[in-house]
Structure 1
Amino acid sequence: MTNNDRGLSITLFRYIFTEAAFSFLVAFLFFFFIFFINQLLLMAEEILSKRVPFNQVMLLLLYSLPAIVAMAAPFAALVGILMAIGRLSSDNEVLVLLASGFSYKALYLPVIVLGLGISLLSFIANDILLPIGTLEFGKLYRKILIASPALELESNTVKRFKDTMIITGEASGKNIDHVIIVDRTSDGERRIIIAKYAELRINQIYGNFTINLYNSFMQTFKDSNPMDYDYVRSKLLQYSISQNSLSQVFGSLGPREMSSADVWKEIKKKQNIINNKIENKQMSLFEIVLSMENILRQGDIEQPNRDKLYQKASLFNKEVNSLKDIIEDRNLKLYKLEFYKKFSIPFGALSFVFLAIPLGLFARKSGQTVGFGFGLLIAVVYWALLIGGQTLGSRLGYSPFWAMWLPNIMAIVIGTLLGLERIRQ
């Protein structure tokens, strides 16, 4: 390759890369605006209506940005690249490129580099910035919650604070009609409290709030013997919730808010616990089988031994079902789904490259408009496949890897086939 050819290739690379990057930026601003407005509406419904200070609302929005960026980038890559390639194709620039002696490699290479860069940036936002933003969001939300507990106790809602569940009726400010509280006492007894009317009281010094329950009824009982219970009626009952209990709302991170390394550590830890449970359960099954074998070896299948055999068989079936539940641990599957999701969504931008280029090449006129429309349609289908895969993985035992990566693999396979067909033509 001569210096002139090399220089022309670099110029062409920059041109296509710049065109695709600009279209990506336009699409990214569109998706960012959509997700940002959605977050703002949620804030308006949950926080702004409770007269939370404006600066705190802005901070909450700031801490929400990593999640918005992580979600907007892959879809913006799809729509942006479709728009860019569609314009190049409809303006016959791709035809000129091929007629000048360049191959489709000159078109694919800069767009693949762009897609890889977008995927890496999206992964960083999802794996590093998102956990940090979530932690800060939780800290600020707890601070707001301590100052205004009515923010959490809204009309007709069910809220959990550690071991406490509060069910509310209609709420107006700090006054609530028809409250039900389910919790446990310090002795481990189950407690149910029903009140016709409740009023919130805030203690800023100790960082907790008290619910004054009027015309209340309280019943306590043990789980082992629910028929043995105590109850009391009261005109006024004070129920306090501490700051530590409030912190449980955001106190522990789920897999979505963790980094991929932390999620993988949790998966390993949970897998070891499950493996130990499986070994213990297998030993229990082995002992049951041995005891059944001893009964059968006695050769005496009269009524006493027959009853023992039936009992052992029933216990064996229960242990087998229990073993299946341990193996199909739903919590572990959720962690695995989130682990693979942390990679599949960011690198969806790269997989979309292989689909967007051949689809954009089929554009004949109004390439950007057609690319934008096709991009939105594919984004909806992709998101539906992700949700469907997550449902199959968490409820029906479908492989977490395939549940999260199948949409990307489909995009690459379909895009590669379309690309080969386009090259053949």
Structure 2
Amino acid sequence: MKINSIVNRYLFNEMIPPFVINMVFFTFLFLMAKILFITNMVVNHNIGLSRVIMMLFLFIPYFLVFVIPMSVMMAVLLTFLRFSSDNELTALKTGGISLYGLLPPVLLFCLIGCALTLTMSVYGMPWGKASIKRLTMEVATSNIELGLKERTFNDGFKDIMLYVNEVDMKKGELKDVFVEDKHSENIVSTVVAPRGILFFEKEKLLFRLRLFDGRINQVSMKNRSVNSIGFETYDINLDLNSAFSDIKGKGGAKDEKEMSFPELRDYLKKAENKNSKYYKALVELHQKISIPFACFVLGILAVSLGAQLKSARRSFGLGLGLIFFLFYYLLLSIGYVFKNSEWYPPFIGMWVPNLVIGGIGLFLLLRTANERPVFSVLAGYFRRR
């Protein structure tokens, strides 16, 4: 195996542009998946452009955990596809540089990708998740009155329909309030009050509507009876389930995605019962290491695919690369599905994708280094079309 430093630098530099382009492209695609959430926040809570941009920025660390390994794979694949189609690989082999001799810059590139992904996984993702939760609740507490539309039935609360005739922003009061409450089974309560106020209980992460000098009418669907009660003050809990169901945790406690690596280890050590949260935390712990390591296995696979498909169109190579990445993600998703099953431990669920894809990559690398094509039939088919 002959190693040439000039060739290594050239190969390494060639992988940077497609990596940056793929990073931007895939990050944009992932951000599009959050458009519905952002739209809901803008429409229902009237948040400003600066907070929208901040929310999108805070989502990025979570996306990068998946985007960086994908971009590493596509960058290596595109580089070797071009080398193959331009016969540069053949020229290098003629000059005495084998496929193994081209691995050092690829492995260095994968190592950098792994370090970036590990940083995002261990530090960026918990910070981003916690910051989104904090910003979302700040938006809700500061703009809850703005989010309530006057003379409109507001149904953004769990089991509550709220109608407000007028919102006094200066005093923070609601005037001429009508509430339909379906919290109790088989009982529908309608509450009417001339005024009320909204305030937020930070400890319980819920809003409380306090009404004054009103009347409650309760209709029992089971007994077919009606009760009417007057009150001076009456409190109703408002749960913003539709807006914050994926952000809010129970009782304000951190979920596993908000925990740092040390916090996850401490929680697992101190956990008394192996319940659902325990297995979720264990999955998250292994995921923080296994996904960054995927940069290596996907990179090795990309080298093999790019070198094997020298006679195929670039579109076929890219399509095959995406299929392998989707296969990796499918294996990872299976680990998530069975994260609470004792017969499919989280360690296996999070590391099997790397072992499977890594095994395929090494097999193809050996075949390619020994000039034994695997995709010749498919490549010939796509070349003729």
Q: CA deviation at 1:204?
A: 6.3
SS in structure 2 opposite 1:71?
helix
Normalising by structure 1, what TM-score? 0.69
Q: Which amino acid aligns with 1:339?
A: L
- Alpha carbons of structure 1 residues 181 and 147: separation in structure 2 relative to 1, 3 Å: farther
**Pairs within 5 Å for 1:394-405:** 394-395=340-341, 397-405=343-351
Corresponding position of 2:170: none
1:309-368 deviation digits (Å, cap 9, x = unpaired):
xxxxxxxxxxxxxxxxxxx63322111111111112222112101211111112234654
- Alpha carbons of structure 1 residues 241 and 399: separation in structure 2 relative to 1, 3 Å: same
Q: Among the aligned pairs, what percent are the same residue?
A: 21
**Pairs within 5 Å for 1:25-424:** 25-149=20-144, 166-168=158-160, 178-181=180-183, 194-196=188-190, 201-203=196-198, 209-210=208-209, 215-217=216-218, 233-234=228-229, 238-241=234-237, 249-250=248-249, 251-270=252-271, 273-274=272-273, 329-365=275-311, 368-395=314-341, 397-424=343-370
Distance 2:269 2:200 in 1: 42
Corresponding position of 1:309: none
Q: Which amino acid aligns with 1:370?
A: F
SS in structure 2 opposite 1:346?
helix
- Alpha carbons of structure 1 residues 218 and 357: separation in structure 2 relative to 1, 3 Å: farther
Larger Rg computed on CA atoms: 1
Distance 1:172 1:423 in 2: 73
1:80-120 deviation digits (Å, cap 9, x = unpaired):
22111111111111111111001222221111111111111
SS in structure 1 opposite 2:344?
coil
Q: Which amino acid aligns with 2:30?
A: F
Distance 1:218 1:132 in 2: 47
1:117-151 deviation digits (Å, cap 9, x = unpaired):
11110110121122222222222211111123376
1:241-277 deviation digits (Å, cap 9, x = unpaired):
599xx9x93532211121122111111111xx24xxx
Distance 1:97 1:407 in 2: 33
Q: CA deviation at 1:381?
A: 2.0
Q: Tell me, which stretches of 5 or more residues in structure 2 are unaligned?
A: 168-176, 221-225, 372-385
1:273-302 deviation digits (Å, cap 9, x = unpaired):
24xxxxxxxxxxxxxxxxxxxxxxxxxxxx
SS in structure 2 opposite 1:47?
helix
- Alpha carbons of structure 1 residues 104 and 172: separation in structure 2 relative to 1, 3 Å: farther
- Alpha carbons of structure 1 residues 71 and 179: separation in structure 2 relative to 1, 3 Å: farther
SS in structure 2 opposite 1:393?
coil
Give the conservation status (yes or no) of the 8 Å contact 1:168–1:176.
Answer: no
Of Structure 1 and Structure 2, the greater helix share is in: 1
Give the conservation status (yes or no) of the 8 Å contact 1:32–1:72.
Answer: yes
Q: Tell me, which stretches of 5 or more residues in structure 1 are unaligned?
A: 160-165, 183-190, 220-230, 275-327
Corresponding position of 1:187: none
Normalising by structure 2, what TM-score? 0.75
Q: Which amino acid aligns with 2:248?
A: V
Distance 1:394 1:358 in 2: 36
Distance 1:198 1:79 in 2: 61
Q: CA deviation at 1:202?
A: 4.4
Corresponding position of 1:22: 17
Q: CA RMSD in A?
A: 3.8
Q: Which amino acid aligns with 1:401?
A: F
